[in-house]
Chain A
């Protein structure tokens, strides 16, 4: 097993050893369900798909994922275990990757537990399960993108509240970058940036997945987005290990 997977395994077990995991999963499921059935109009739409559920995911993760990542490195600093972890014989990027993978797997578990929604649409109608699968892949990628951002910011500060607020703000920037409010404003003032904003928008990319389209360009976007922020995480960690 690669050292990154050893770290990931320990981290994941750590989530479930504390109430963090259970609180996160319960709140996520309650909010996702409530939003889907009330604001999303799951029944009144009269369509057998998970569109109402998927449409809330980027906004729900916007708050829940930073809550998960704010402690990633800040907690290691508080306990002093960062000194232990980074003096074990593993390359630093493997420690960064391991922590990320654990948090990502945890988000995957939370998403998998929304399966009753999937059962419901299949019982009520005849949905396109391929589209639903693509939507879930999109959800996982959005979670990964936010996790990478949050993890890098957690390495930047030892204060968990600051890590949370900064992560929400930055994730919001990437989520809202493609929204009409932002792009229309930018296209009037700085047309070049409007294109950039649309290209960097996590929510825009995600919409493709919920329509059932898994585009190579979108996959490359998410992979490089996550890769970039994990790289940033490793660099920040290298410079601020002991602070």
Chain B
């Protein structure tokens, strides 16, 4: 069977600027892929194309075999997506917002109620279920976005900075949650917290100036005798390494 997430030669240009340049990778069930890179490297753009929000300039992305451009609704059904900044409708209550997402996904009646309750349980939102989202702290807002992505128990999860704005305890809980779900799902998380990669990811991709410079398990990266921090800095600061050099480093 093909991998749950397949990205082939994905490219995005904005005018003359190439934000994502010929990126290819696949993520299979059981994998947690850490998507790393400095700000502006093309992480969010890649995720937006994978989620079917932005059409790619070239290349394809498939979720569970469904092309995100040709069969967008089928692809989105199998996907739980946390967009950058975890946007939510501020005037809605937590249950109202999750109920809206569940209804769009076709859940009704008691199943809708169960799905919303379960998503709130997983992300520890029961205490604020009737509060308008705009009154919540940053950490809660992020978890509301996360709950929305988990609602339908999707086989593919794409989470753009899922732990940004959370306190250390909440970070720990979200990482635990990701680790628990990992065996059944293909998960992509973007982050610039390097310790997180070692903590939850089975594989790391470092992207710089729109290109993949490293694709390897975090343990392999660290075994080079350097910390992840050093590897990251070496790969993303200097001039872009030639393709062959990057593979060797990996």
Contact = CB atoms under 8 A, between A and B. Distances in A.
A51 B233 CA distance: 74
Contacts of B79: 87
A90 B73 contact: yes
A242 B83 CA distance: 12
B22 interface: no
B88 A84 contact: yes
Question: How big is chain B's contact interface, by range?
Answer: 20 to 34
Given A88-B104, A90-B73, A242-B53, A18 B87 contact: no
Given A80-B83, A89-B77, 16 more contacts: A6-B104, A10-B89, A13-B96, A14-B89, A18-B91, A79-B87, A83-B48, A83-B53, A83-B83, A84-B87, A84-B145, A88-B105, A89-B74, A89-B104, A90-B104, A91-B73
Contacts of B85: 80
A75 to B, nearest CB: 10
Interface in B69-98: 72-74, 76-77, 79, 81, 83-85, 87-92, 96
A79 B54 contact: no
Nearest to B145: A84
Interface string B127-170: 00000000000000000010010000000000000000000000
A3 to B, nearest CB: 5
Contact of A87 (B51, B89, B91, B103): B51
B104 A242 contact: no
A37 B51 CA distance: 55
A241 B101 contact: no
14 contacts: A13-B92, A80-B87, A83-B53, A84-B88, A86-B52, A86-B53, A87-B76, A87-B83, A88-B76, A88-B105, A90-B73, A91-B72, A238-B55, A242-B53
